[in-house]
Structure 1
Amino acid sequence: MIGIWAALLPIKSPESCTAIDLPALAVWALQFAPRVAIVEDAVLIEIGASARLFGGLEHLRVQIEKEAKELGVESIAWAPTGTAALALARSRVPDGFAAPLPAILDKLPLETVTAVAHHHGTLHRLGARTLGDVRKLPRGGLSRRFDKALLLGLDQAYGMRPEVYEWALLPETFSARLEFLFRVETAPALMFGARRLLLQMSGWLAARHMGVTAITLRWAHDAMRAKTAGTGGEITVRTAEPTQSVEHLGRLLTEHLAKVELLAPAGDIELLALEAVPIVQESKSLLPETTRQGEATSLVLERIQARLGKDRVVRPLLLQDHRPEWMQRWQCADEPRPRSAPGFHETPLPTWVLPEPLRLAERDNRPYYQGALQLLLGPDRVEGGWWHRVGDGEHAEQGNVQRDYWVALSRHAGLLWIFQRRLASDETGWFLHGHFA
């Protein structure tokens, strides 16, 4: 079938730690097109129908070649047919569109097309050294002296007969393993192989239109280890939002691994996508949009959290509670944010709330704080908390309150938030509870 085919030929040397197996390479390639096949020692991709989705053929070609080299692909070739692309990749000829296809293929040796390579000895004795030499031989004689596969392979390479492939299928879950050919002594050095696994996972996520919110990196200790070291270890990294970004996940893994100490040298690693959820694609505007500079705030916070610790990066959370002391709490930045609580106060809320209300002096039943206070807004009654116990054990107290809040003006201190207690069991009087900016 005439189209736009790419043939990816991985590194064959078993001594290379960057070699990738064909099934893993096929899973990665499925993000670019649904027509991906494992053929002999290579992976074939037909991208003709997908080029527009990636910004054009040239943009897609650059992206495939860049990521494929990181995954350990040593030869990439492009051609109108899959068999031709595979032959060009074996010959290290990258472009099958630079000239008419027959002119390019005729110069290739017999070994580049498997169906022809099977009869290399006989064809060589007939004087054929290239694919062009074989095509010059009488087709009738070739069909009688050789099997049907020879002419079929030649015709498919030159686009004269359709090609039939068994397309690769996308797995439901993702897990990938990489074995090192050397012992890794430190945890940060694991990122050398973890990045390649992240690239594979990114391809799987893109093909499934999903993003991860949790990944796990596992490592197995080398066989020559102390018994106390155990078999290995693992770390789990979580994100606040689903992501496919290799760079972001790589930075988070780097920050976490910097705090890990290997109990023994590691021999291999495994990456798993623990939680994957669908990503809702945003509609693009027809009008030009201003390019946003820098990273999203959520990505920056995740990286800082990975560096400083989960409990060091927090954000305020508004709760559905009338009482100012319990209206807000702090939660970890990566925890899901619940729906915003509705407002309960009719008067404005202060910028700063005191940890403990401050008892105010009174003169003629009027509150004083650096002078007489003028009541501007109020009262705003807050009542509730009978269900709440403050403290532990014998010292626990009931959190029930009944207060009338006012916005008051002080000539020296500015706007203040004060209240007056109404419960008979409480100490009556006026209290300062907050300041306005």
Structure 2
Amino acid sequence: MRLWIGLYLPQLPLEVFSQPWSSDPGSVVLEQERVLAVSPAARAAGVLPGMRRGSVLMLMPEARLHERDPARETEALGAVALALLQYTPLVTEGEEATLLMDVGASLRLFGGVRRLCSRIRANLRALGFTGILACAPTARGAWLLARGRAGRALKPASMMRRLDRLPVSTPPPARPFLPWFEGIGCFTLADLRRLPRPGLQRRCGRPLIDLLDAAYGSLPELFEWIEPPTTFNARIELFDRIEHADALLAGAHRLVLQLTGWLCARQLAAERVTLKLVHERGRVARPPTLIDIALAEPTWHDEHLVRLLRERLGKTVLDAPVIGLGLEAVQLQPMAPPTESLFPEPGGTEEDRKRMFELLVARLGADNVLQAAPYADYRPEVANAWVPLDRKIRPSERAAQLPPDVHSLPRPVWMLAKPIALLMRDHRPFYGSPLKMASNPERIEAGWWDDTQARDYFVAEGQDHALYWVFRERIVGSAEDAEPRWFLHGLFG
């Protein structure tokens, strides 16, 4: 099924000067001293397109006036196109701030045209733009339906009916001849198609005929697809000085959506990204604040990255106001293929678990979420090593494993970071209650090369039947007649 989505951005000249997270005191975009686009606040004050600058200032003296900037409009349209590449690699730019997407091969992946359109609208809102979506079996048909706000048409017959009802002013090649069309009673595209083609071509030219034929499916269409850049390094400027880091999330989300589209188009996954918080320049210039996010599991989804950025920004204290944001993909790898298992893993996939750990690291800090890195050593402190979760443990870093029967007694999972000295009562170690030895001793004597340990470990039982892992220091040397000390080193579950 061939299906195109046309996305028309009618307020693009205005929205390149606004931010979705900032208040709107009334913005107006001017072109040649006349109003081109107005914000809702300015429209409520009586400002309308076509007014002159003086009339705007008379109605709304506090209005923000901006001159139209075609270069920034092109940049904004490119940012939207880059974000939409996550849905299809076939995205092209149309006339008059319109994007066209061939989504026929993507419908089943995203759950149908309704869900796909809903996702596109949500992404547009996050990017800070408003758009009008239309669907049609042809690209030019989708373009005309979007420009005419005529909705979706999934089949050629319904598309033709909707196109026939559009006003004759919708195709750009027909606009110079509107007085002539009105004079002969031609008001819709259906009326236009009933005119004799040879006379219409002599009067209006071949571009109008070709556009109608392409829209109605009588002429093949050729497009130049948008190619993503080879590297990703996007940036946006803020129009207010932001002094609280958590207020930067909307701008960061905008950059993450562009990153998501770029990753999907390049078939890559991000392992490490860096968010740059750009501060003021001049005499008070400061280097950018860098927020580095290392991912345990490479990803190309925006939801997970946004969650991590929310946690990191919520804990960041700004030393200076922020005037711009930048996002860079520092470390990448090819996108992993989906799992081939027939049945899903109970309790979530490995990717889900790694995402949960990454969220815990962002919320609690890297030093508070650790992973076990056991080392082949007889000393418990050395064997029971813990390292940050983002550190990759290579097998070459570990020594050969100890034989499975080296430990004659069980060892607890809960090991204390530092052994606790125990009191002695009636020649017995005391921890809440007198401890009774429930096992034979396990002697450990090792570490002569760096930290000698000579201990006898026991499984001890308290009066509440809780089990503890304790050891008695072995006195060697000249102080062998001294009383040995007892320590608590672990607890059994």
Deviation, structure 1 residue 32:
1.5
1:30-429 matches, within 5 Å, as: 30-40=85-95, 41-71=97-127, 72-97=129-154, 100-117=158-175, 119-120=177-178, 122-221=180-279, 227-230=283-286, 232-283=288-339, 285-286=341-342, 292=348, 296-339=352-395, 342-344=401-403, 345-351=406-412, 355=418, 376=440, 383-384=446-447, 386=449, 388=450, 399-400=451-452, 416=469, 418=471
| Residue 304 to residue 360, structure 1, CA distance change in 2 (3 Å) | closer
In 1, the alpha carbon distance for the partners of 2:175 and 2:190 equals: 14
Per-residue deviation, 1:50: 2.1
Contact kept? 1:317, 1:329, Cα under 8 Å: yes
Report SS of the residue matched to 2:79.
Answer: helix
TM-score, normalization: structure 1?
A: 0.79
Letter in 1 for 2:370: V
1:231 to 1:337, Cα distance in 2 relative to 1, 3 A: closer
1:247-277 per-position Cα deviation (integer Å, ceiling 9, x unaligned): 3322322232234444554333222222222
CA positional deviation for 1:51: 1.7
Report how far residue 286 of structure 1 moved.
Answer: 4.5
- 2:385 is paired with a residue of what secondary structure? strand
TM-superposed CA distance for 1:143, in Å, is: 2.9
Any conservation in 1 of the 2:275–2:328 contact (CA below 8 Å)? Answer: yes
Distance apart, 1:25 and its partner CA: 1.9
Cα displacement string for residues 67-99 of structure 1 (whole angstroms, at most 9, x for unaligned residues): 234332421111111111111111222212386
2:29 is the alignment partner of 1:17 = no
CA pair 141-371 structure 1, distance change in 2 beyond 3 A: closer
Q: Which moved more, 1:335-344 or 1:136-145?
A: 335-344
* Counterpart contact for 1:17–1:181, Cα < 8 Å: yes
Question: What is the letter of the counterpart of residue 215 of structure 1?
Answer: V
Structure 2 counterpart SS, 1:163: coil
**Which is richer in strand?**
1
- In the aligned structure 1, how far is the partner of 2:278 from the partner of 2:269? 26
1:296-335: CA deviation from partner (whole Å, max 9, x where unpaired): 5544443443344332333443123332221123322332
Supply the distance in 2 between the matched residues of 1:279 and 1:138 (Cα, whole angstroms). 54
How many matched pairs? 415
Letter in 2 for 1:12: L
Unaligned runs of 5+ residues in structure 1 are 362-366, 389-398
Aligned mates of 2:136, 2:419 — CA distance in 1 = 76
SS of the residue aligned with 1:193?
A: helix
Conserved 8 A contact 1:216-1:237: yes
Query: Structure 1 residues 130 and 185 mapped into 2: Cα distance closer, same or farther (>3 Å)?
Result: farther
How far apart, in 2, do the equivalents of 1:319 and 1:212 lie? Answer: 31
Q: Which one is further off, 104-113 or 258-267?
A: 258-267
**How far apart, in 2, do the equivalents of 1:374 and 1:96 lie?**
79
What's the offset of the Cα at 1:227?
2.1
Question: Taking every aligned residue pair, what percent have the same amino acid on both sides?
Answer: 32
Give me the whole-angstrom Cα distance separating, in 2, the residues matched to 1:80 and 1:104.
12
- C-alpha RMSD of the superposition: 3.9
- Correspondence for 1:27: 82
CA gap of 1:300–1:374, structure 2 versus 1, over 3 A, is closer
One-letter code of the match for 2:201? Answer: S
State how far apart, in whole Å, the 1-side matches of 2:257 and 2:192 are: 41
Q: Deviations over 1:150-193 (max 9, x none)?
A: 21111001111111000111222222222334443432211122
Q: Bigger shift: 139-148 or 35-44?
A: 139-148
Q: Distance in 1 between matches of 2:319 and 2:421?
A: 54
The Cα shift of 1:100 comes to: 2.1
Q: In the alignment, is the contact (CA less than 8 A) between 2:126 and 2:250 conserved in 1?
A: no
Task: Give secondary structure in 1 for the equivalent of 2:13.
Answer: coil
Say whether the 8 Å CA contact 1:347–1:406 is kept in structure 2: no
Once the two structures are TM-superposed, the CA of residue 245 in structure 1 deviates from its matched residue by 3.6
Contact 1:84/1:158 (8 A) holds in 2: yes
Task: Give, as a single letter, the amino acid of the residue that structure 2 aligns with 1:74.
Answer: G
TM-score (norm 2): 0.71
CA drift of 1:59 comes to: 3.3
